[in-house]
Structure 1
Amino acid sequence: MSAWWRRRADLLGLLLLFLILPWQNELSSPAVMGAAQSQGLYAAEAAVVAGVSAREGQRVRAGQVLAQLASPQLDQRLALARVVEADLAWQVAQQSFNSELQSKGTALQQQWQAARQQVAGLQSQRDRLALTAPFAGRVADVSEALRRGTVVAQGERLLQVVGADGVRGEAYVDEDGLAGLRRGDAARFVPDSGETWAIACRLGPIDRLNQAALEQPLLASVYGGPIPVELRDHDLVPLRAIFRVRLEDCDRRAPPLREMPGWARLSRERYSLLLLGWRRLAAVLEREAGL
């Protein structure tokens, strides 16, 4: 203690240098990496699984039928609508020869057009019961419910199709981390699982509005993730302001079948701890002034 006291001027100088010098230039933040192209397929109606031709990891082409659902109730409504439409079509064709039909005037034509639209709408609903690949890629996350004879609810997610090429990610930073980030700067994604090496990327679009709800359940604290959230009306609401930063132009081409949680090392402008403290103080004052 005596030696430290004698060298207090040197120690104070080192502390000031530690606070003032801009030596920090990398930020670590929670992130998720997945396929650049990915789309879930859902049951358009409450239906029964009539057939399944897709399996986990299978390569598929755009437009390929992966599963077929069936709805007896929808088929019945469509059959009835077709009978009504056919009857009205006959009446319209015979209108010029039948005085009783002539008395209905243009209303008969309008009824026929409405019946045709109803048939087209029901047919469109029926067509959506065929789950087709929206683009070429691979099948992932096949639901246990996707088995022949199983009843599925409307809107139930049944499988995922991921693109054949390219990855992209999302990182989440707080207000302090947002400062100094610039689009195009370097970033590295390190998966938690260790199943692959770090993936080099570039910073893409940077949100300037905080996320009202976290869209990545893998990172939510209620599911074991690092971002503190609470569940409100099925939404994952962050307990502090977080901002999304997209990761793009990554050097890995083969996409994973499932999203990978991990951490992103984001490069940014060098900053000092003193500047960071000042920014925090300014942000607090700005919030208080807004209140």
Structure 2
Amino acid sequence: MEPFRVHILGCGSALPTMKHLPTSQVVECRGKLFMIDCGEGTQLQMRKSSLSFTKLGHVFISHFHGDHCFGLIGMISTFGLLGRTATLNIYAPEALNDILEKQIAFFCRDLGYEVKFHAVDTKCHQVIYEDRSLTVETVPLQHRPSCCGYIFREKPTLPHIKRDMIDFYQIPISQINNIKNGQDYTLPDGTIVPNERLVEPADAPRAYAYCSDTKYMPELHKLLDGVTTLYHESTYATDNLAMAEKYNHSTAQQAASVARDAKVKQLLLGHYSSRYPDERVLLNEAKQIFNNVRLTNEMDIIDV
């Protein structure tokens, strides 16, 4: 299977600590890099992780709280200093556009490449990016400012050729694509070889959902159909449920409830409040509801 990974660059919340950096992730899919959120220090984390600046073409910002976007202008500036020429696409709520334009005009004169802004309607569930192998769709969330999550979905692939059967029937290479697309093969004597004898089923498409800052949404799982791995913010444990409700955040147990109801295979926790020096309290609470859950940490690389 082609690589489909998530690189954790930062998994803390608004108050910096010596343990965690603000939120940022990079999704790696079939040789392309997609960034989700860009908290302070993100570009340094990319350096540490040996992720290629030049392969990053798209940045998805969930909302305009500083711990999710303060690192963006610094990274844009660095790309200019490195001589970037390729367009950098930014997807974010409309409110960020004016601020970003002013920052670029003030700090990044003669940038040398285009920063193209794509306004995201955080109230809609829709596809906002598509290429030959992947789609990215928005997931409306409920936070204090406009906020959305993102789902990265692989497109279905063609079935795998059974090489031994191709050799056995001496099928020419010119027919491989036809067979992958479902055709039977007719031998020179007129015998028809059924397609299912020549191929193995394609790999099931994978999907990664990133649910940024949000209060608990009991119906959220309905938008996560087919998701393989779910990241869901888990700022608080149940001892701070009142804080979660006040500031529109979620507890680890609430994140686990979404994972359970969405029937995902794996849950990732993050966006930890600085009040928890040991995040295992969040992990233990989540495991009471959903078993396959893990804490994210900086420099983690997680297979979707």
TM-score (normalizing by structure 1): 0.21
- Higher relative strand content: 1
More helix by share: 1
Larger radius of gyration between Structure 1 and Structure 2: 1
**Comparing both chains, which one has the higher relative contact order based on Cα–Cα distances under 8 Å and sequence gaps of 6 or more?**
1
> TM-score, structure 2 length as denominator?
0.20
